[in-house]
A = this chain, B = another copy of it.
Amino acid sequence: MNDTLQKLKDIFGEIADLNRAVGVLAWDQETYMPPGGVEGRASQVSTLSRMAHARFTSDEVGGLLDAAGAEVAGLPFDSDEASLVRVARRDYEKERKLPSDLVAEMASAGSTAQPVWQKARKESDFKSFAPYLEKNVELNRRVADLLGYRERPYDALLDREEPGLTTDQLETMFAELKKAIVPLVADIARHTDAVDDTVLYRGFDPDLQLKYALDLVTRLGYDLERGRQDLTAHPFSIALGPGDVRITTRVSRDFFNECLFGSIHESGHAMYSQGFGVNLNRTPLWGGASAGVHESQSRLWENLIGRTQPFWHHFFPSLRNTFPEALQGCDGEGFFKAVNKSYPSLIRVEADEVTYNLHVLLRFELENEMLEGTLPVKDLPEAWNARFKSYLGIDVPSDREGCLQDIHWSWPEFATFPGYTIGNLIGAQLMDKIRADIPDLDEQVGRGEFAVLLRWLRTNVHRHGRKFTPNELVERATGKPLTPGPWIAYVRKKFGALYGLQTAK
């Protein structure tokens, strides 16, 4: 390698180390840090984030990127070197627009707001959280203004999360989804008796749930030599390096889905991160292509694998051995149906596949309105509840189960919610191609074999890290641009069959 690239890589390596240290600080704050640590942690995260940002946006990096750009000009688009310079240049131009002090302020605001949100959610006390959300809205506006946008401020934020996607495009996709989902929800409501999910609420020993879930995700391919599972209020996965990708989960005695499907979801994220090419380690290419692509991996394992007949054909016997009392009188087919019951509900992370995207739509709209100033923060609970009633037909009994339920608005980064829907769409589109490439996928899953599937994902998605934009990646993997079509066809078919709907015929 020539000197310029090596110099760039050395600097990027230091920045990666700083960012990974920030990751460990964040993981620790969520899992084990004592309450008294909040103030000091905010300061540490802020200092390290500012240093990483200052180093990355330095004139030195700009100069090296200029020089390297000329040097990689002849290399193939998807070569490590050309991709590194291209993606780093894109990041550089965005981050360069944000002063280091703002980045530090955002990091500090996040660390400070999070425990406030936790307490506010617990006590269903929106008022105590409102000033912190106002601060975050203001920070997001400043970021959007600094980054610049043609049409709408949300575009600037969205492009950081989902490079290449615009607010208008998103609105078009959501409109198409809404048009398909709303009648499907109504149709399912008329056939609700077709699926009985009471078995999920019979009471499952939490320790056994955790053990079963961890064992199951390692069988999917999550590598515990390079990972671990802990308990947190809000489950997440975090990539601290090729050898250290962790997941967290939560567990409820009274609702089975929380722990197991949460664990599968997070391990989907984690398997993605464990699969980033080691050739990309400690460079800006080592990471997920976007929040949406990340979510495609978690949702694919959680729903397109974990909520299928062959999956439960394989796992139900061991599950019944683990929980013989709770699962008395239930069989694999009944359990498969139970974990797919669809009905409007309050909590996004517990929502079924059909209604899930409505939860996201709601947040996307409200976030946008707060950002554009048409919705004052103080009016958020009212707007949330009204919109919720309109989309999902149910009354929100408290802010804890309403606008305080997600951790996301305690972070000073907006535009992270759309990734959940993008992820659903990408997942379904990838799955169409996977089924074409692996015709006996269902038989493999039915035997508890996931290695061929994981290899497909490693080859077509994971190893590329951030080399490609979401659209580039989807096109390369499936041969087509991203559309909601495959996902709509998938839910219509699956839920049509489950509920015996007209649409399925």
Chain A residues within 8 Å of B, Cβ to Cβ: 13-14, 17-18, 20-22, 24-25, 27-28, 32-41, 43-44, 46-48, 51, 223-228, 230, 240-244, 246, 282
Q: Distance (Å) between the CB of A484 and the closest chain B CB?
A: 38
Inter-subunit contact B43/A282 (CB<8 Å)? yes
18 further interface pairs, Cβ-Cβ under 8 Å (given A36-B226, A44-B241): A13-B47, A17-B47, A33-B244, A34-B226, A34-B227, A34-B243, A34-B244, A34-B246, A35-B225, A35-B243, A36-B227, A36-B242, A36-B243, A37-B226, A39-B243, A40-B240, A43-B282, A51-B51
Q: Distance (Å) between the CB of A226 and the closest chain B CB?
A: 3
Please report the C-alpha to C-alpha distance between residue A116 and residue B44 in the assembled complex, in whole angstroms.
30
Inter-subunit contact A244/B18 (CB<8 Å)? no
Contacts of A41 in B (CB 8 A): 241, 244
Query: In chain B, what residue has the closest Cβ to A17?
Result: B47
Please report the C-alpha to C-alpha distance between residue A129 and residue B242 in the assembled complex, in whole angstroms.
26
Please report the C-alpha to C-alpha distance between residue A37 and residue B224 in the assembled complex, in whole angstroms.
11
Contacts of A246 in B (CB 8 A): 34
How many monomers of this chain does the complex have? 2
Contacts of A37 in B (CB 8 A): 226, 240-241, 243-244
Please report the C-alpha to C-alpha distance between residue A14 and residue B243 in the assembled complex, in whole angstroms.
28
Inter-subunit contact B34/A21 (CB<8 Å)? no
Contacts of A36 in B (CB 8 A): 223, 225-227, 242-244
Please report the C-alpha to C-alpha distance between residue A227 and residue B33 in the assembled complex, in whole angstroms.
8
Please report the C-alpha to C-alpha distance between residue A21 and residue B35 in the assembled complex, in whole angstroms.
17
Please report the C-alpha to C-alpha distance between residue A14 and residue B44 in the assembled complex, in whole angstroms.
8
Query: In chain B, what residue has the closest Cβ to A230?
Result: B32
Contacts of A34 in B (CB 8 A): 224-228, 243-244, 246
Please report the C-alpha to C-alpha distance between residue A37 and residue B274 in the assembled complex, in whole angstroms.
12
Q: Distance (Å) between the CB of A76 and the closest chain B CB?
A: 29
Known contacts A34-B225, A34-B228, A43-B282: A48-B244 contact under CB 8 Å: no
Query: In chain B, what residue has the closest Cβ to A39?
Result: B243
Please report the C-alpha to C-alpha distance between residue A33 and residue B17 in the assembled complex, in whole angstroms.
16
Query: In chain B, what residue has the closest Cβ to A33?
Result: B244
Contacts of A14 in B (CB 8 A): 47, 51
Inter-subunit contact B242/A40 (CB<8 Å)? yes
Nearest first, the 7 A-B pairs at minimum CB distance are A36-B243, A40-B241, A36-B226, A37-B244, A17-B47, A17-B44, A21-B21
Please report the C-alpha to C-alpha distance between residue A34 and residue B243 in the assembled complex, in whole angstroms.
8
Query: In chain B, what residue has the closest Cβ to A47?
Result: B17
Please report the C-alpha to C-alpha distance between residue A43 and residue B9 in the assembled complex, in whole angstroms.
14
Please report the C-alpha to C-alpha distance between residue A148 and residue B20 in the assembled complex, in whole angstroms.
36
Q: Distance (Å) between the CB of A58 and the closest chain B CB?
A: 14
A24's contact among B17, B25, B46, B230, by CB below 8 Å, is which? B25
Please report the C-alpha to C-alpha distance between residue A21 and residue B46 in the assembled complex, in whole angstroms.
11
- Residue among A25, A27, A33, A34 with most chain B CB within 10 A: A34
Please report the C-alpha to C-alpha distance between residue A306 and residue B205 in the assembled complex, in whole angstroms.
40
Contacts of A225 in B (CB 8 A): 34-36
- What are 30 sample pairs from A and B whose C-beta atoms fall under 8 A apart? A13-B47, A17-B46, A17-B48, A18-B48, A18-B51, A21-B21, A21-B24, A21-B25, A24-B25, A32-B32, A32-B230, A33-B244, A34-B224, A34-B243, A34-B246, A35-B225, A35-B226, A35-B243, A36-B223, A36-B227, A36-B242, A36-B243, A37-B226, A37-B243, A38-B243, A39-B243, A40-B240, A40-B243, A41-B244, A43-B282
Please report the C-alpha to C-alpha distance between residue A287 and residue B25 in the assembled complex, in whole angstroms.
21
Contacts of A18 in B (CB 8 A): 47-48, 51
Please report the C-alpha to C-alpha distance between residue A223 and residue B230 in the assembled complex, in whole angstroms.
24
